[in-house]
Chain A
């Protein structure tokens, strides 16, 4: 079923297919909306709130990654108000855990870092949380550093939806939420992990990395993970 609809993004009329999300339509038409927890090829969960947009007639802001388009929908993607909210969202992500870019494997290739820079986050206006967090080094090839995790759940969805192993989940509530492997077992002891490394590639930050890389050295092949879904859909 491919019902065609017309939507407006920042004033421009765009043809879309009903059921597509605002973010998908925007991306397909080279309109930029920032996103962090969204990754092509995975289900969308609306966790990070960076893709919030203004929809005409809606009383509140809506996440572009989970909101489907409908006929006549008019979206504003980058008003000063949205920019200021996105900046706040990024600052809150930065204060929640310990982001020390100068000693991070992903510095220079990190989606959180580049979003912060792009949004003019020169500093944060909130007190840092400085939690004491662990680093799981039990897996022979990979590391999980909770200090850098933004709980985007891209690893959770990659492992469950693409690899089919479902090693990861998020346990706890609010600021106490933590990524856990196989019901709190260390990653190295998770029997369902196939060591495929897809979660590592999907992770937008330095939270998941391959062992053996130094500061700024860990680059990720996210497109490869996304492409797997496209290829399977094509089958």
Chain B
């Protein structure tokens, strides 16, 4: 049987959900017996490949790049999992949403700058008007809240998906 292909990525998040994924410890060995991680910060691929079975996406959708990657991942993956509070609710990144983007950037990069004040434009993706949860940008199949989700919740979710079931979090459902 072919191995299940898992892709992961992090958008506007702190990498905490990926840390929690690494915290599966020996659990990850079991996962890797029936799955390969084919894209993400943990592997070396340059582009989200075609034919991914499970996409684990951390972070809110905050920039043009986030949006593009989320759409690519969606188009090329069977199941999309919103991993963690930022992807599920917007969480901390969404705390800027009441403030107009221009004001926000000026506050940080001009008023808040000790030296070389100026809003950077080269090599950084444009900010979207608001940092939105993943489901505001693409269709999401499974939501796993938590900041970060506990390793046992992640392991449970991956386990269910590898068995071909859509996970029901039940008592593992937790925000914050």
Contact of A120 among B95, B132, B135, B173 (CB under 8 A): B173
When C-beta atoms are compared, the residue in chain A nearest to B98 turns out to be: A132
Tell me, yes or no, whether B97 is within 8 Å of chain A by CB: yes
Q: Which chain B residues lie closer than 8 Å to A120 at the CB level? A: 168-170, 173
Q: Which chain A residues lie closer than 8 Å to B89 at the CB level? A: 94, 99-100, 123-124, 128
Tell me, yes or no, whether B140 is within 8 Å of chain A by CB: yes
In the assembly, what is the distance between CA of A101 and CA of B143, in Å?
16
Q: Which chain B residues lie closer than 8 Å to A108 at the CB level? A: 176
Tell me, yes or no, whether B91 is within 8 Å of chain A by CB: yes
In the assembly, what is the distance between CA of A216 and CA of B92, in Å?
15
Within 8 A of A (CB), among B148-176: 168-170, 173-176
Q: Which chain B residues lie closer than 8 Å to A107 at the CB level? A: 175-176
Tell me, yes or no, whether A103 is within 8 Å of chain B by CB: yes
Inter-subunit contact A102/B143 (CB<8 Å): no
Contact of A113 among B90, B98, B130, B176 (CB under 8 A): B176
Inter-subunit contact B143/A122 (CB<8 Å): yes
Tell me, yes or no, whether B40 is within 8 Å of chain A by CB: no
Interface residues of chain A: helix, strand, loop or mixed (majority)? loop
**Known A113-B176, A122-B169; contact A100-B91, beta-carbon cutoff 8 A:** yes
Inter-subunit contact A117/B173 (CB<8 Å): yes
* Least CB distance, A74 to chain B, in whole angstroms: 30
A-B residue pairs, 10 tightest by C-beta = A101-B176, A102-B147, A132-B98, A107-B176, A130-B97, A122-B143, A123-B143, A101-B175, A102-B176, A117-B173
CB within 8 Å of A: which residues of B?
82, 85, 88-92, 94-95, 97-99, 130, 132-133, 135-136, 140, 143-145, 147, 168-170, 173-176
Ordered by A's residue number, 22 sampled pairs between the chains whose C-beta atoms are within 8 Å are A100-B89, A100-B94, A101-B147, A101-B176, A102-B176, A107-B175, A108-B176, A113-B175, A116-B175, A120-B170, A121-B173, A122-B173, A123-B135, A123-B143, A124-B89, A128-B89, A128-B90, A128-B94, A130-B94, A130-B97, A130-B130, A131-B98
CB within 8 Å of B: which residues of A?
94, 98-104, 107-108, 113, 116-117, 120-124, 127-128, 130-132, 216
Other A-B contacts than A122-B145, A131-B98, 19 sampled, CB-CB below 8 A, are A100-B94, A101-B175, A101-B176, A102-B147, A102-B175, A104-B176, A113-B175, A120-B173, A122-B169, A123-B133, A123-B140, A128-B89, A128-B90, A128-B133, A130-B97, A130-B98, A130-B130, A132-B98, A216-B176
